[in-house]
Amino acid sequence: MQEILGVPAPLLFGQLLIGLINGSFYALLSLGLAVIFGVLNVINFAHGALYMMGAFVAWLLLHHLGIGYWPSLLVAPLIVGVFGIVIERTMLSRLYDLDHLYGLLLTFGLALIIEGTFINFYGVSGQPYAPPEILTGGHNLGFMFLPTYRAWVIVASLLVCVGTWLLVERTRLGAYLRAAVENRELVRAFGINVPLMMTLTYGFAVALAAFAGVLAAPVYTVSPIMGQHLIIVVFAIVVIGGLGSILGSILTGLGIGIVEGLTKTFYPEASSTVVFVIMAIVLILRPNGLFGRPRE
Amino acid sequence: MKSVALASTALAALAAMVGAAQAEISDNVVKIGVLNDRSGLYADLSGEGSVVAARMAVEDFGGKVGDANIEVVSADHQNKPDVGSSIAREWIDQDGVDVIVDVPTSSVALAVQQVTSEKDTAFLDSGAGSTALTNDQCAPTFVHWTYDTYAMSVGTGKAVVEQGGKSWFFLTADYAFGHQLEKDTSAVVKENGGEVLGSVNHPLSTSDFSSFLLQAQASGADVIGLANAGGDTTNAIKQANSFGIVQSGQKLAALLGFITDVDALGLDVAQGLTLTTGFYWDRTDETRKFADRFAEKMNGQKPTMVQAGVYSAVTHYLKAVDEIDDDGGEAVVTQMKTMPVNDFFAENGKIREDGRMVHDMYLVEVKSPDQSEGKWDYYNIVKTIPGDEAFQPLDKGSCKLVSN
């Protein structure tokens, strides 16, 4: 069997593919985080909890109302997105003129409350959620066995990522958004309802997190603590990509997934820290991140 | 002569009074502190359920030992040794807690062990697994009640090798408990004629196991041994299933699994898994009776071995306090060691000099969805492992309390 750096080639290809699958989760989550930071100037620490909520709402829909995976993919993000809008209107919108730190503290507190509430009702062990019948099973690629569901995860998240990128970069609405990032007052002077735009942006980004949660439900156990560890990694990805850079967060998300996969092959113990090592190096060499621009 | 007799009688009476003053229940209250994880990784397998179990034990004992009231207090150690030991210290110094129970997470248990042995307070551990508690770190105030890493590896490891699983590859949680479990199980595998092909250490609380599973698959081992616990175990099993590992002929062995983990996985995924447990609720009439009462207070959840162990340990402790009318740590634990443990949890259990409570363990196989008659009907008991086989022999241990 051919070996690359002491690792059998098939195993290495397998790890690369798995890295890409995990990376697509990261991309989806960091995309939402980057959009929120870009437009609202808020570091949304509740993102992990909202991702968890997406998975839980899908489970609740199935468990109590018999609503399956496919409708949940749309309904759960909508429900959580509306929840996000309520948060933005009642709490976050009051903090925009204050220091970053207030937004961070508020969303961190919210994350604790949301997670605590779910733990109280459902415990920490988690609930099972089966993938839809059509996505069960898998394909033998020769170098690894690829579960159909994981292949679907790559396709679905890449579609959503590209769609969001096009929305922000190629449409009139996106142009308004980008303009609002540069100069909120000027955009408002043109008669555009900036507060509404910010509310909808937060709702949309929260829905993205929830969408990732529904995608994750059949892969992991649906548990109130499933977002806890993820949020730190995703936050690091956003920093590496450049705070607020949408393309940066998507590409870095995918890249970090692959780097993690390779670390798990060559030195597994470091797989949970490698992302922070990269973050430190990037911050030293390019303080605004790989794709970021200096903020004024 | 008469005066001498009188004086000696008076002296004897005085001595008896002094003796009585020493051997009595402090503050006229027996305070039980249930210290465990209330919100993290292990909150379902111990957590509130252990507090409920301790309260049930107190209720069944009648709420009093002699004239002294019994109280139960509880706290969250957050799986952090520093938090655990400072709560233990405060409980003992300021709140008059007389016995600390449960304490899952080996690192926290070892820290609490230091405090309780220093302050002559009884410590009955049901939730932690490390055998260090009854080996190098053993103490005269300590009893290890429910299970340990040795019993897990002997139970599951041996059974799986006997069933034909000769070559092993380990997925190991990268901290003290995981390494100990891998070491113990490797020894059992080799003793029984098997071989260990390799292992991979994964960080604690890993959500994605696919890379590690791919390595385990590439090793070609008959058995993938999961030397981890809680969410790590359930995630690994679930993902092994989706990667077709079990279907392609490799077997998974969960070296530490709780009934709450099986519930989280669902029987579709967990079926066929071999586990070792100190308690299964559906084993005898007594266990069922206890489990039904417990479930009523816990939204239908049946007790894990850790929670049932807490009930059993507290009951035995209260009996010992009642017997000697004293709640000093070493005094009660010494008394507990002289009394056999006989209840729904353990039949003919005994507490050894090193603090190990020796009782039968059970090798179980998780039922398939067709075999199960409903929620919590999860295990077939394959074999009863006698206590003397399940736990590390006394002469193989390194406890300083054991006289050679």
pLDDT at position B19 over 80: no
What is the per-residue pLDDT for B98? Answer: 96
Chain A residues closer than 8 Å to B206 by CB? 271-272
What is the per-residue pLDDT for B277? Answer: 95
Q: Decide if B30 contacts B327 (C-beta within 8 A).
A: yes
Amino acid at B223: V
Which of A15, A223, A269 faces B203 most closely, judged by CB atoms?
A: A269
Q: Which of A17, A121, A125 would best serve as a mutation to test chain B binding (most B beta carbons within 10 A)?
A: A125
Q: Decide if B262 contacts B304 (C-beta within 8 A).
A: no
Chain A residues closer than 8 Å to B205 by CB? 229
Nearest CA among B52, B36, B58 for reference residue B316: B58
Model confidence band, residue B271 (pLDDT cutoffs 50, 70, 90): confident
Which of B40, B208, B266 faces A22 most closely, judged by CB atoms?
A: B208
Chain A residues closer than 8 Å to B43 by CB? 119, 123-124
Chain B residues closer than 8 Å to A269 by CB? 174, 201, 203
The runs of H, that is alpha helices, within chain A are 9-40, 47-65, 69-90, 100-122, 148-170, 172-182, 184-189, 194-216, 228-241, 246-266, 274-285
Q: Do B231 and A128 touch (CB under 8 A)?
A: no
Q: Decide if B144 contacts B391 (C-beta within 8 A).
A: no
Model confidence band, residue B3 (pLDDT cutoffs 50, 70, 90): low
What is the per-residue pLDDT for A56? Answer: 96
What is the per-residue pLDDT for B305? Answer: 96
Q: Which two tokens stand for residue B123?
A: 């410590």
Q: Which residue of B has its CA nearest to A264?
A: B211
Read off φ and ψ for residue A219, nearest 5 degrees.
-85, -45
Q: Do A221 and B234 touch (CB under 8 A)?
A: yes
Q: Which two tokens stand for residue B163?
A: 């069933």
Residues facing B349 on adjacent strands: B341
Q: Which residue positions in chain A have pLDDT lower than 50?
A: none
Dist. CA A114–CA A110, nearest whole Å = 6
Dist. CA A12–CA B184, nearest whole Å = 31
pLDDT at position B21 over 50: no
Give A45→chain B minimum CA distance, Å. 19
Q: What is the DSSP secondary-structure string of B13-78?
A: HHHHHHHHHHSS-GGGEEEEEEEE-SSSTTTTTSHHHHHHHHHHHHHHHTSEETTEEEEEEEEE-T
Buried b or exposed e, range B367-376, using 16+ CB within 10 angstroms: beeeebeeeb
Collapse the DSSP code of A284 into the 3-class scheme (helix H, G, I; strand E, B; otherwise coil) and give the result.
helix
What is the pTM for the complete model shown? 0.81
Assess A264–B contact: CB distance below 8 Å, yes or no: yes
Which H or E run includes A138?
A: strand A138-140
Q: Do A147 and B218 touch (CB under 8 A)?
A: no
Assess A194–B contact: CB distance below 8 Å, yes or no: no
Q: Do B174 and A221 touch (CB under 8 A)?
A: no
Block residue for tokens 């697994």: B129
What are B154-183's pLDDT values in tens digits? 889 998 998 889 999 999 998 878 888 999
Q: Do A11 and B215 touch (CB under 8 A)?
A: yes
What is the per-residue pLDDT for A1? Answer: 54
What is the per-residue pLDDT for A8? Answer: 75
Collapse the DSSP code of B11 into the 3-class scheme (helix H, G, I; strand E, B; otherwise coil) and give the result.
helix
Q: What is the DSSP secondary-structure string of B172-234?
A: EESSHHHHHHHHHHHHHHHHTT-EEEEEEEE-SS-S--HHHHHHHHHHT-SEEEEE--HHHHH
Nearest CA among B145, B113, B54, B141 for reference residue B333: B141
- Average pLDDT value for residue range B220-245: 89
What is the per-residue pLDDT for B4? Answer: 53
- Average pLDDT value for residue range B332-361: 95
What is the per-residue pLDDT for A178? Answer: 83
Q: What count of other Cβ atoms lies within 10 Å of the Cβ of residue A9?
A: 12
Q: Which residue of A has its CA nearest to B231?
A: A125
Task: Tell me how far apart the terminal alpha carbons of chain A are, to the nearest angstrom.
Answer: 55
Higher pLDDT, B41 or B196: B196
Q: Decide if B151 contacts B390 (C-beta within 8 A).
A: yes
Average pLDDT, chain B: 90
What are B281-328's pLDDT values in tens digits? 999 999 999 999 999 999 899 999 999 999 999 999 999 999 999 999
Model confidence band, residue B20 (pLDDT cutoffs 50, 70, 90): very low
What is the per-residue pLDDT for B163? Answer: 85
What is the per-residue pLDDT for B2? Answer: 52
- Average pLDDT value for residue range B33-62: 93
pLDDT at position B6 over 80: no
What is the per-residue pLDDT for A244? Answer: 77
Assess A56–B contact: CB distance below 8 Å, yes or no: no
Q: Which residue of A has its CA nearest to B239?
A: A219
Q: Do A124 and B40 touch (CB under 8 A)?
A: yes
Q: Decide if B295 contacts B341 (C-beta within 8 A).
A: no
Chain B residues closer than 8 Å to A56 by CB? none
Which of B44, B202, B210 faces A123 most closely, judged by CB atoms?
A: B44
Give B104→chain A minimum CA distance, Å. 15
Dist. CA B7–CA B13, nearest whole Å = 10
What is the per-residue pLDDT for A62? Answer: 94
What is the per-residue pLDDT for B8? Answer: 54
Model confidence band, residue B16 (pLDDT cutoffs 50, 70, 90): very low
What is the per-residue pLDDT for A143? Answer: 76
What is the per-residue pLDDT for B10? Answer: 53
What are B75-131's pLDDT values in tens digits? 999 889 999 999 999 999 999 999 999 999 888 999 999 999 999 999 999 999 889
Assess A138–B contact: CB distance below 8 Å, yes or no: yes
Q: Which residue of A has its CA nearest to B37?
A: A124
Nearest CA among B374, B235, B267 for reference residue A222: B235
Assess A9–B contact: CB distance below 8 Å, yes or no: no
Give B224→chain A minimum CA distance, Å. 17
pLDDT at position B13 over 80: no
Q: Do B248 and A145 touch (CB under 8 A)?
A: yes
Give B47→chain A minimum CA distance, Å. 10
The conformation of residue B96, written as its DSSP 8-state character, comes to -
Q: Do A221 and B260 touch (CB under 8 A)?
A: no
The runs of H, that is alpha helices, within B220-353 are 230-242, 259-265, 267-270, 285-297, 305-324, 329-338
Q: Do B41 and A126 touch (CB under 8 A)?
A: no
Chain A to chain B Cβ contacts (< 8 Å): 112
Chain A residues closer than 8 Å to B44 by CB? 123-125
Q: Do A11 and B266 touch (CB under 8 A)?
A: no
Q: Do B211 and A269 touch (CB under 8 A)?
A: no
Nearest CA among A11, A125, A215, A254 for reference residue B212: A11
